[in-house]
């Protein structure tokens, strides 16, 4: 029996990409559900066939059941539990604070993950999943709209995520560890307080030369970008899905310690249009530059793999190694080595609360600026542009009337009025195009910081949970659930977490000052040039009038 599906959302096909345009409510016949990459081959009622996004349709339960019943029966006989291991919670966790009980589940997950064929990497869709974060996109009128990454896109959940180590700070607090020299992340006392170790030469890279490629015998297309780091000056090629993989790895490894900026939003339609490719490349450049400026991320093995892999084999080996990394989540703190005195828990709590207040306040103000900027952009490309056009038209209409008077001495005036009208029409176009020259960069920077600030509540939440656990230490010692040495270990590890947070906040502040200095200078320079251009045009129009 043919499998039928109902279209949930309208979809417009990209020309020359073997896709099928569908309308909401339409019924399709599914021809091939194994295409991969978040796509399904289907046929509409008119006999047209093509690829549609699988999350834009809903398979009818009756037809699906009849075609998959035998498979489900076979699967149920050999099914296994995929329940993620429980995190260490509550006071009972302190009775046995080793994680040996999770080892078998972790090994099962890793073993199953390792059995996935390498071709799986090539079957993912470039734009199949929406990531979090806000983006700033321009409409046809040139205005901007803030969008949250909540589109209906295919999400591929890796087993690393299903069986990931949850950010329970007690797992780290009770860990007695010696930092390996190769993994060591030193924290020093600088002029502004605790700081990361910064390299002598700043890592940077250039994202350029987007090219269209194909896969699946030409059925599907994608855009590949060339990334050239200044450390090697040797370009490597990556598709958007590779950036997405890097984002997931960085989030899993460092997400408890510092904010990882959100990727540019994914998109199902229009992704081969020149304007979209240009905008995405610009945002990927900003994303990579920000990561390059973070000393810990820039020097991490997974980030270096992304920038410097030599061939496909090297990439796959490095990818597998990164996906099996054990120092992820709160365990990343085991690699941090503050060469500073231990902090008192009370001092830790005060600093944590200070950072929390600042990030909340800055988040509110960034949102305000985004909202105001959005309204200003719309006004420049809408009401303000039309207002100047109407003024210009009114002056030209007045000139036309004066021309009908038959009076011989007013030619100079009518010509000047006509020129004035055209000047205001030119000003209208200048106003409409100005946001792309100045406001665009200000909005992009604010959008980036909105994403970064959105990460801090979770990061600070991990630190506050650790503080609460350390506060319980005396009670746990009295109940013989931990020993005095464990209490000291907890306080020492909490101090490490606090120094990491302080180093990250100092890095954040340093980048914030640099970024806003740079973008405000650019914005004001463009504003000055904008008004000087208008003044020049008005002076030119003024010079055409006779002085009595």
User: pLDDT per residue over 214-261, tens digit each?
Assistant: 776 666 778 899 999 999 999 999 999 999 999 999 999 999 999 998
pTM: 0.71
CATH number of 102-163+198-323: 3.30.1520.10
What are the residue boundaries of the structural domains of the chain, listed by start? 3-77, 102-163+198-323, 374-433
Coil, helix or strand for 57? strand
Q: What is the pLDDT of residues 299-309, one digit of tens each?
A: 999 999 999 99
pLDDT of residue 28: 92
Q: Which residue has the tokens 């010079």?
A: 543
pLDDT category at 134 given cuts 50, 70, 90 is very low
Show the tokens assigned to 229: 């780091």
Q: Which residues of 1-18 are buried (b: 16+ CB within 10 A; e: fewer)?
A: eebbbebbeebebbeebb
**Which letter does DSSP use for residue 11 in this model?**
B
| Residue 458 Rama label (left phi>0; alpha psi -120 to 50; beta) | alpha
Q: Which of 320, 333, 341, 277 is nearest to 462 (CA)?
A: 333
Length of the chain, in residues: 548
pLDDT of residue 368: 95
Q: Are strands 185-190 and 193-196 parallel, antiparallel or unpaired?
A: antiparallel
pLDDT category at 160 given cuts 50, 70, 90 is very low
CB 223 within 8 A of CB 211: yes
Q: Mean of the pLDDT values across residues 139-144? A: 38
Residue ranges of the annotated binding site are 239, 241, 280
Q: What is the pLDDT of residues 440-494, one digit of tens each?
A: 999 999 999 999 999 999 999 999 999 999 999 889 889 988 899 989 899 999 9
Q: Are strands 39-43 and 3-7 parallel, antiparallel or unpaired?
A: unpaired
What does each C-alpha distance from 285 to 69, 281, 290, 338, 521 come to in angstroms? 48, 6, 9, 32, 20
Q: What is the pLDDT of residues 398-411, one digit of tens each?
A: 999 999 998 888 89
φ, ψ for residue 204 (rounded to 5)? -150, 165
CB 469 within 8 A of CB 493: no
CATH number of 3-77: 2.30.30.40
Determine the Cα–Cα distance for residues 149 and 263; give it in Å rounded to an integer: 10
Determine the Cα–Cα distance for residues 205 and 225; give it in Å rounded to an integer: 12
| Among 21-35, 77-91, 495-509, the range of highest mean pLDDT | 495-509
- Give Cα 233 distance to the centre of its chain: 26
Show the tokens assigned to 477: 């010692």
């Amino acid at each position: 029996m043919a499998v039928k599906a109902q279209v949930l959302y309208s979809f417009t096909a990209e020309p020359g990409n073997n896709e099928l345009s569908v309308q909401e409510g339409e019924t399709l016949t599914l021809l091939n559900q194994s295409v991969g990459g978040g796509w399904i081959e289907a046929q509409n009622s008119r006999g047209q066939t093509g690829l549609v996004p699988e999350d834009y349709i809903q398979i009818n339960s009756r037809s699906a059941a009849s075609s998959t019943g035998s498979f489900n029966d076979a699967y149920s006989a050999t099914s296994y539990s995929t329940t993620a291991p429980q995190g260490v919670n509550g006071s009972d966790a302190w009775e046995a604070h080793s994680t040996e009980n999770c080892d078998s589940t972790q090994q099962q997950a890793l073993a199953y993950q390792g059995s996935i064929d390498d071709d799986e990497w090539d079957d993912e869709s470039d734009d199949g999943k929406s990531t979090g974060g806000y983006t700033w996109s321009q409409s046809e009128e040139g205005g901007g709209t803030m969008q949250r990454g909540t589109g209906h896109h295919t999400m591929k959940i890796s087993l690393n995520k299903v069986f990931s180590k949850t950010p329970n700070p007690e797992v780290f607090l009770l860990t007695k560890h010696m930092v390996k020299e190769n993994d060591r992340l030193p924290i020093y006392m600088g002029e502004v307080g605790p700081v990361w170790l910064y390299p002598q030469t700043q890592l940077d890279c250039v994202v350029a030369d987007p090219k269209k490629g194909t896969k699946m015998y030409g059925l599907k297309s994608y855009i590949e970008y060339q990334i050239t780091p200044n450390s090697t000056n040797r370009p490597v090629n990556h598709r958007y899905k590779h950036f997405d993989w890097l984002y997931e790895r960085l989030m899993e490894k460092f997400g408890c310690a510092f904010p990882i900026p959100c990727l540019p939003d994914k998109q199902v339609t229009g992704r081969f249009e020149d304007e979209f490719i240009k905008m995405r490349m610009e945002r990927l450049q900003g994303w990579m530059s920000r990561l390059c400026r973070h000393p810990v991320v820039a020097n991490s093995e997974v980030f270096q793999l992304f920038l410097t892999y030599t061939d496909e084999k090297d990439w796959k080996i490095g990818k597998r190694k990164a996906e099996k990394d054990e120092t992820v989540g709160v365990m990343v703190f085991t690699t941090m080595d503050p060469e500073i005195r231990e902090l008192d828990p009370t001092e830790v709590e005060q600093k944590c609360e200070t950072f929390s207040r600042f990030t909340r306040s800055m988040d509110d103000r960034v949102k305000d600026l985004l909202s105001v900027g959005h309204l200003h952009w719309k006004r420049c490309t809408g009401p303000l542009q039309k207002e100047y056009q109407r003024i210009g038209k009114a002056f030209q209409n007045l000139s036309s009337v004066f021309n009908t008077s038959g009076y011989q001495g007013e030619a100079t005036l009518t010509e000047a009025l006509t020129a004035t009208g055209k000047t205001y029409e030119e000003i209208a176009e200048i106003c409409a195009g100005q946001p792309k020259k100045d406001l665009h960069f200000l909005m992009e920077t604010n959008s980036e910081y909105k994403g970064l600030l959105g990460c801090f509540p979770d990061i600070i939440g991990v630190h506050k949970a650790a503080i609460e656990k350390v506060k319980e230490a005396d009670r746990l010692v009295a109940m013989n659930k931990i020993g005095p040495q464990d209490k000291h270990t907890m306080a020492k590890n909490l101090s490490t977490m606090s120094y990491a947070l302080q180093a990250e906040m100092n890095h954040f502040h340093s980048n914030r000052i640099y970024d806003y200095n740079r973008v405000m200078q650019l914005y004001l320079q463009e504003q000055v040039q904008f008004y000087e251009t208008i003044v020049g045009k008005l002076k030119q129009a003024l010079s055409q009038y006779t002085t009595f």
